[in-house]
Amino acid sequence: MTSLATSTSTAEVATAEAHGGHADLRLFGLATFLVADGMTFAGFFAAYLTFRAVNPLPAGSTYELELLLPSINTMLLLVSSYTFHRSGRNLLLGQMGPCRGWLLLTAALGAAFLGGQMVEYFSLPFGLTDNLFASTFYALTGFHGLHVTLGVICILLVWFQTRSGGRVTSAAPFGLEAAELYWHFVDGIWVVLYGILYLL
């Protein structure tokens, strides 16, 4: 059965519909994209675990890694997820001052994580091409670090957009919400990565 609208007045409805647009699906789209992005990591993780199970390392190499720095880094990221959450809460309540403050703190924590990662890279006894584990280590942490870098840039961008007169407001929170979703995703990936790369 088909019902058809025939009256000319529906043309106005159509115009309104067309320009008013549909429900905002951008977060849904981003979430779908993050599923895809997560699958890239899943592929890397699967590769790493298989390498580890099947391919013996050359004599003298080891899977053991220094734990202190990465553990601090993990804490930094977990705290940054919380600070971002606080920022989002403040935005929805219209408290722009605290919102922007928490944002900056989140960006600072992200930057501190990247700094810690750099320190770790320079203190490691192996380079990119030394052995299979070294390559996989740098590929995994590097790919994740790329995500963190992008996240910090996004946070600073959102921070800029939350200035008075900016495009991110409590009535239009998409920019911040998107960055927050992405940031939580990147943190979640790190937790898995930390688990299988450092703890396992």
Partner 1 sequence: MTVASPNDFQDSLQPQGWLRYFSFSLDHKVIGLQYLVTGFLFYFIGGAMAGVIRAELASPISDFVSRETYNEVLTLHGTVMIFLWIVPVVNGGFGNYLIPFYVGARDMAFPRLNAVAFWMIPPAGILLIGSYFITGSAQSGWTAYPPLSLTTPALGQVVWIVSVLLLGGSSIFGGINFIATVLKLRRPGLRLMQLPMYCWAMLGTSILVVLSTPVLAGTLLLLSFDIVAHTGFFNPALGGNVVVYQHLFWFYSHPAVYIMVLPAFGLVSEILPIHARKPLFGYTTMVYSIMAIVVLGLVVWAHHMFTSGTPPWMRLFFTIATSFIAVPTGIKFFNWLATLWGGKLALNSAMLFSCAFIVNFVFGGITGVALAQVPFDIHVHDTYFVVGHFHYIVYGGTVFVIFASIYHWYPKFTGRLLNEDLGRLHFLLTFVGFNLCFAPQHWLGLNGMPRRVAEYDPSFTTLNQISSVGALLMAISSLPFLYNVLVSAFRGQVAGDNPWNALTPEWLTSSPPPVENWIGEAPLVKHPYGYGVEEDTLSVEAATGRDLWSGAGRR
- Site for partner 1, rule CB under 8 A: 1-15, 17-18, 22-23, 25-26, 28-29, 32-33, 35-44, 46-47, 50-51, 54-58, 128-129, 131-132, 135-136, 139, 143
Look up tokens 């580890």; give the residue.
52
Shortest separation between residue 99's beta carbon and partner 1, angstroms: 27
Calpha distance 150→132 (Å, rounded): 27
Shortest separation between residue 165's beta carbon and partner 1, angstroms: 25
**Burial of 10 from C-beta contacts in 10 A (0-12 / 13-18 / 19+):** exposed
Residue 41 makes CB contacts below 8 A (sequence gap 6+) with 143, 144, 189, 192, 193
Task: Output the six-digit token pair for 190.
Answer: 């790190």
Question: Among residues 58 and 165, whose Cβ is nearest to partner 1?
Answer: 58
Task: Output the six-digit token pair for 184.
Answer: 């939580």
Shortest separation between residue 105's beta carbon and partner 1, angstroms: 31
Question: Among residues 23 and 68, whose Cβ is nearest to partner 1?
Answer: 23
Question: Among residues 27 and 69, whose Cβ is nearest to partner 1?
Answer: 27
Task: Output the six-digit token pair for 49.
Answer: 């675990």
Shortest separation between residue 136's beta carbon and partner 1, angstroms: 7
Question: Among residues 43 and 195, whose Cβ is nearest to partner 1?
Answer: 43
User: Beta-carbon neighbour count of residue 142 at 10 Å?
Assistant: 13
Look up tokens 């939350």; give the residue.
162
Calpha distance 52→192 (Å, rounded): 16
Calpha distance 6→131 (Å, rounded): 71
Question: Among residues 28 and 200, whose Cβ is nearest to partner 1?
Answer: 28
Shortest separation between residue 52's beta carbon and partner 1, angstroms: 10
